[in-house]
């Protein structure tokens, strides 16, 4: 435990002293998790504070912006090749006014000068991802003591404007539900209409009549109807469906890597 503590302080020192990042810019990921009819979002809890934040990080001077978001996602979940989409850049001066970084650094017994880059105003680019939270492990970083899933309508106290970013990410997810669901690999390759409806209902937070949902989703020509799911009672067996090729994710299915990435 003590060793962890010292290692965290060392990592923090390295971060603070680094000159490898673009100043004033960060990325934040709203990683939504779906499983068994529940929609959650992945949050980090800061050390020694009753305050949570989205998985986020800085962008290396020689790193593509999107790669920075994918790196953050990987660092917190060890998942690679996940469908990840940028949805908005948050750039109000006021968003970083309550300087959380300063408190965190001081709590660790460290100190930085007033005009240090880490205490300055940050503009953050928001990315959105949708995964199966039962399949993902989570890994806190040096700033944080836990990394865990929270139901989207039961959020704890959030740092910065991260509650606003989550609302905005959720709105993006809902506005783009067809693309997001098709590309997220959340369902098995073949699934029933009931599976798909349950996923839509959970993400949208509303319920649909079975017939209405089926008619609407089929009218979008995203699905291919396959054989029936044989379960012994042939009459009631539901059809299986799959997404037609062009709506499939360009991403590979989840890749889990064990080795340390950082």
For residue 109, the SS3 value is: coil
CB 8 within 8 A of CB 141: no
User: Tokens 């917190």 sit at which residue?
Assistant: 76
Taking the complex as a whole, the smallest distance from the CB of residue 69 to a copy of itself amounts, in Å, to 9
Residues 262 and 15: their CA atoms lie apart, in Å, by 12
CB 93 within 8 A of CB 124: no
Q: Where are the alpha helices (DSSP H) in the chain?
A: 2-17, 65-77, 100-107, 162-175, 177-183, 193-204, 210-219
Taking the complex as a whole, the smallest distance from the CB of residue 45 to a copy of itself amounts, in Å, to 28
C-alpha torsion sign, points 253, 260, 24, 62? negative
Taking the complex as a whole, the smallest distance from the CB of residue 243 to a copy of itself amounts, in Å, to 21
Q: Break the chain down into helix, strand, coil percent, rounded to 5.
A: 35, 30, 35
Q: Of the two residues 25 and 158, which places its CB atom closer to a copy of itself in the complex?
A: 25
Taking the complex as a whole, the smallest distance from the CB of residue 48 to a copy of itself amounts, in Å, to 30
Q: Of the two residues 19 and 236, which places its CB atom closer to a copy of itself in the complex?
A: 19
Q: Of the two residues 47 and 162, which places its CB atom closer to a copy of itself in the complex?
A: 162
Q: Of the two residues 86 and 249, which places its CB atom closer to a copy of itself in the complex?
A: 86
Applying CB under 8 A, which residues contact a copy of itself? 22-25, 59, 61-66, 68, 86, 88-93, 120-121, 123, 125
CB atoms within 10 A of CB 40: 17
| Token digits of residue 194 | 């009931």
Taking the complex as a whole, the smallest distance from the CB of residue 220 to a copy of itself amounts, in Å, to 16
Taking the complex as a whole, the smallest distance from the CB of residue 179 to a copy of itself amounts, in Å, to 11
CB 177 within 8 A of CB 80: no
User: Tokens 């609302």 sit at which residue?
Assistant: 167
Q: Of the two residues 22 and 112, which places its CB atom closer to a copy of itself in the complex?
A: 22
Q: Of the two residues 62 and 260, which places its CB atom closer to a copy of itself in the complex?
A: 62
């Amino acid at each position: 435990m003590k060793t962890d503590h010292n290692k965290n302080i060392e990592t923090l020192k390295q971060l603070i002293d680094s000159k490898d990042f673009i100043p004033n810019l960060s990325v934040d990921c709203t990683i939504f998790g779906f499983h068994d009819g529940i929609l959650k979002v992945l949050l980090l809890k800061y050390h020694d504070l009753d305050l949570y934040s989205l998985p986020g990080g800085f962008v290396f001077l020689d790193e593509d912006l999107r790669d920075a978001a994918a790196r953050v996602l990987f660092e917190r979940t060890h998942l690679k090749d996940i469908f990840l989409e940028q949805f908005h850049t948050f750039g109000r001066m006021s968003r970083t006014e309550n300087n959380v970084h300063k408190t965190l650094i001081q709590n660790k017994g460290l100190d930085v000068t007033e005009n240090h880059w880490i205490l300055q105003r940050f503009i953050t680019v928001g990315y959105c991802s949708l995964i199966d939270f039962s399949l993902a492990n989570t890994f806190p970083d040096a700033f944080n003591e836990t990394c865990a899933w929270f139901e989207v309508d039961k959020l704890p106290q959030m740092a910065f404007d991260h509650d606003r970013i989550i609302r905005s990410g959720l709105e993006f997810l809902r506005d783009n539900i067809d693309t997001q669901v098709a590309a997220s690999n959340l369902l098995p390759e073949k699934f029933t209409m009931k599976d798909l409806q349950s996923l839509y209902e959970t993400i949208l937070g509303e319920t649909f009549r079975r017939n209405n949902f089926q008619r609407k989703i089929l009218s979008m020509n995203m699905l291919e109807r396959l054989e029936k799911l044989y379960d012994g009672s042939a009459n009631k067996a539901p059809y299986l469906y799959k997404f037609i090729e062009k709506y499939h994710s360009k991403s590979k299915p989840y890749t889990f890597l064990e080795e340390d990435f950082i």
